[in-house]
A and B are shown apart, each in its own frame.
Chain A
């Protein structure tokens, strides 16, 4: 009788543990899905894409990568993009291409997004 009772307790505990773990993972996944497209780092390279008429910026860590800056995109102060050697921080839209002369033009680099007007820079 006592063994039966302990078994019951054990399974109830196990059920709660499994439920808690699954709940935690669910929360993690939900959290990841909400991550906005934020980037920020130091502009190490600024290359003009001659065919597409925009700039391919290579931005260092902490949240870097290659991004497209379209000339004319408004910026918060100090409006230093696409200048090399500045810190920048902002939001990008996924989807971007840098086209350089080829036969007739070809994609260059691996930009992960295009910088939106929500972007600021150091001076």
Chain B
């Protein structure tokens, strides 16, 4: 008894230190995640710069406080691609929320840019402090920087950039966020189509270490799937081609449904090559050009709605009229107002041949 009493503090100390070590590990994990986020932000800046250069934009007119036009939008995007000249850290004008209005924040960001490149932008004019006015020399410098970016990133195609974006998403956030939840959720899948035998990863939460079942529709399933983290990995089983509801189950219950299209080995997935016109207004019709569209049963998944059962008489064109869909019922309200907002709409085609990997885009002017 006396011995036990004597050793008790040692046991307590051991427990406390063990807990401390656990917390330290937790902190290291958090730091790693925080570092990842910082890396992602930096990566996003680089991507913004690259995407801007890919648009082949150059500034051809002077810009000043109070201006409201498309060039201002590009100017803000350009300024935001450099951490030293960012227009705003959050809210309107910040990265991804650039506007077409040249306000006070843009004015100050331009001054920062001019001061940074004073030797080329200010000194030749005999000026030593930024004015906030985007004149000939400032434009020349901006255009040269965009051109430099074009040259350095010329080896990297748009597709590669998009792949990089996807990997950022996969790497940075997916597992960390959802795997902590106890809910039975199927959130993302690595692919929405592929032939039998191709790799498929299901992300989500509520996975068990073993004996998870992945369902392809109500009748076909892959049993005894192990999970070592926030995902399940399988090879698509040898099942007839077609579109299946995809979900998983285990002793905790049944997940929500996604979908997966099993394609035949020889089929080529649909691909959008261009969309005309590039800019439209609400109610207009767009023509989607591409390959491997089916005569019927094409589905468009866009930023504002899912449009099913589209027909293509030649396998190369699809026509779409932009109108409200149940997924964004308020679109009608947008139409009734003039907002001066350009809304890039992403479009992906799916059909029995698979899912478009690249997608297309048009701009809806509101």
Contact flags B210-252 to A (C-beta < 8 A → 1, else 0): 0000000000000000000000000000000000000000000
CB contact between B27 and one of A13, A31, A38, A76 (< 8 Å): that residue:
A31
CB contact between A13 and one of B9, B166, B258, B334 (< 8 Å): that residue:
B9
Q: How far is the CB of B321 from chain A (nearest CB, A)?
A: 17
CB contact between B90 and one of A9, A10, A23, A94 (< 8 Å): that residue:
A94
Query: With A and B bound together, what is the CA distance between A26 and B226 in angstroms?
Result: 37
- Please name all residues of chain A whose beta carbon is closer than 8 Å to the beta carbon of B333 when the two chains form the complex: 48, 50
Contact flags B336-361 to A (C-beta < 8 A → 1, else 0): 01010111101010100001000101
Q: Are A82 and B328 in contact (CB under 8 A)?
A: yes
Query: With A and B bound together, what is the CA distance between A97 and B38 in angstroms?
Result: 25
Q: Are B44 and A118 in contact (CB under 8 A)?
A: yes
- Please name all residues of chain A whose beta carbon is closer than 8 Å to the beta carbon of B98 when the two chains form the complex: 72
Query: With A and B bound together, what is the CA distance between A31 and B174 in angstroms?
Result: 20
- Please name all residues of chain B whose beta carbon is closer than 8 Å to the beta carbon of A79 when the two chains form the complex: 303, 344, 346, 359, 361
Q: How far is the CB of A14 from chain B (nearest CB, A)?
A: 9
Q: Does A63 contact B (CB under 8 A)?
A: yes
Q: Are A76 and B34 in contact (CB under 8 A)?
A: no
Which one of B130-138, B182-190, B287-295 contacts A?
A: B182-190
Q: Does B91 contact A (CB under 8 A)?
A: yes
Contact flags A55-99 to B (C-beta < 8 A → 1, else 0): 100000111000000111111111111111101011101111000
Q: Does B20 contact A (CB under 8 A)?
A: yes
Q: Are A73 and B327 in contact (CB under 8 A)?
A: no
Q: Does B304 contact A (CB under 8 A)?
A: yes
Contacts A61-B183, A82-B303; A20 near B17 (Cβ below 8 A): yes
Contacts A13-B9, A46-B328, A71-B343; A76 near B187 (Cβ below 8 A): no
CB contact between A122 and one of B180, B187, B344, B346 (< 8 Å): that residue:
B187
CB contact between B168 and one of A47, A70, A76 (< 8 Å): that residue:
A76
Query: With A and B bound together, what is the CA distance between A72 and B341 in angstroms?
Result: 8
CB contact between A23 and one of B9, B20, B30, B344 (< 8 Å): that residue:
B20
- Please name all residues of chain A whose beta carbon is closer than 8 Å to the beta carbon of B23 when the two chains form the complex: 24, 27-28, 31
Q: Are A62 and B183 in contact (CB under 8 A)?
A: yes
- Please name all residues of chain B whose beta carbon is closer than 8 Å to the beta carbon of A107 when the two chains form the complex: none
Q: Are A34 and B346 in contact (CB under 8 A)?
A: no
Q: How far is the CB of B75 from chain A (nearest CB, A)?
A: 15
- Please name all residues of chain B whose beta carbon is closer than 8 Å to the beta carbon of A20 when the two chains form the complex: 13, 16-17, 19-20
Q: How far is the CB of A26 from chain B (nearest CB, A)?
A: 9
CB contact between A117 and one of B34, B44, B178 (< 8 Å): that residue:
B44
Query: With A and B bound together, what is the CA distance between A74 and B290 in angstroms?
Result: 23
- Please name all residues of chain A whose beta carbon is closer than 8 Å to the beta carbon of B334 when the two chains form the complex: 48, 50
- Please name all residues of chain A whose beta carbon is closer than 8 Å to the beta carbon of B33 when the two chains form the complex: 36
The closest CB in chain A to the CB of B355 belongs to A123
Q: How far is the CB of A39 from chain B (nearest CB, A)?
A: 8
Q: Are B305 and A83 in contact (CB under 8 A)?
A: yes
- Please name all residues of chain A whose beta carbon is closer than 8 Å to the beta carbon of B312 when the two chains form the complex: none
Contact flags A36-57 to B (C-beta < 8 A → 1, else 0): 1010101000111010010100
The closest CB in chain A to the CB of B179 belongs to A62
Query: With A and B bound together, what is the CA distance between A52 and B174 in angstroms?
Result: 31
Q: Does A16 contact B (CB under 8 A)?
A: yes
Query: With A and B bound together, what is the CA distance between A90 and B44 in angstroms?
Result: 12
Task: Return the 10 tightest CB-CB contacts between A and B, nearest first.
Answer: A79-B346, A48-B330, A93-B90, A117-B96, A62-B181, A71-B343, A120-B169, A20-B16, A73-B96, A13-B9
Q: List 28 A-B contacts (CB under 8 A).
A: A10-B9, A17-B9, A17-B16, A23-B20, A27-B23, A31-B30, A34-B30, A48-B328, A53-B341, A53-B366, A62-B181, A71-B366, A74-B48, A74-B96, A77-B165, A77-B166, A80-B301, A80-B303, A82-B328, A83-B302, A83-B304, A83-B306, A84-B326, A84-B327, A89-B187, A93-B94, A114-B97, A116-B94
Given contacts A38-B177, A77-B166, A87-B188, 14 further A-B contacts (CB under 8 A): A9-B9, A17-B13, A30-B27, A34-B30, A50-B334, A62-B181, A72-B98, A72-B341, A74-B48, A80-B302, A83-B302, A114-B97, A118-B44, A122-B187
> CB within 8 Å of B: which residues of A?
9-10, 13, 16-17, 20-21, 23-24, 27-28, 30-31, 34-36, 38, 40, 42, 46-48, 50, 53, 55, 61-63, 70-85, 87, 89-91, 93-96, 114, 116-118, 120, 122-123
